[in-house]
Amino acid sequence: MKISRFTMNPFGMNCYILWSAPGGECIVIDPGMMMTSENDMITSFIDSNNLTLKHILLTHCHVDHACAARWLATKYGVEVEAGEQEKMIAEQMPQQGARFGLKIDSTPLTIDHILSEGDVIDFAGEEIHVLETPGHSPGSLSFYCPSSSVIFTGDVVFQSSIGRTDLLGGSYSVLINSIKTKVMTLPPDTVIAPGHGDTTTVADEKVYNPYL
């Protein structure tokens, strides 16, 4: 499985495309595009590699991670997939944009397919395990790929930091529990691919993350 990262929007959010090979299938995690140039960056990559988009996975539904999910889903005829507890946040997409003063055309987001703890997505001969990791938002999910030794955590944990918990549905204690019981229990060499910033590893965060 190949992984391509695209950093975008005023929040420096990481959108990931998982893909098999040119002419194969792909998955987009957290399409937070806010400008036409960012839309073009993602679609050009998909189209130039002749990829078939199979899944749009959302770690959570904050505006910087999900504002282009419906646009991308409509363009390629796929579903938006996220955790059930994100429904209320998804429906407040316009209010989220206004709260941050964003000049974007956003509408309430509907989640087409609910993902839950224990779900497994088969992709390119690899399993993607869905982990419920609430705390930053009530329905935050992480996507763990054991064969590739990587986990996509959204805003749960970053390099030497953790996600903020002062937004709607956030909880510091719940977040710390999610990190310790779901992420830090993975093999030490597991790469953490966060929603913002550079990648890190489980081993490094156990040593250097001051919140843990």
CA distance 28 to 202: 23
When pLDDT is cut at 50, 70 and 90, the band that residue 135 belongs to is very high
| Residue 116 belongs to domain spanning | 2-208
When pLDDT is cut at 50, 70 and 90, the band that residue 17 belongs to is very high
CA distance 124 to 132: 23
DSSP H or E segment with residue 28: strand 25-29
When pLDDT is cut at 50, 70 and 90, the band that residue 201 belongs to is very high
CA distance 125 to 9: 32
**For residue 105, pLDDT beyond 80:** no
Mean pLDDT of 76-88: 97
What is the dihedral angle through the alpha carbons of 146, 150, 155, 156, rounded to the nearest 10 degrees?
Answer: 50
Number of domains in the chain: 1
Nearest to 143 by CA among 191, 77, 180: 191
Q: Give the CATH number for residue 167.
A: 3.60.15.10
Looking at residue 107, its pLDDT comes to 87
**For residue 147, pLDDT beyond 90:** yes
**For residue 123, pLDDT beyond 90:** yes
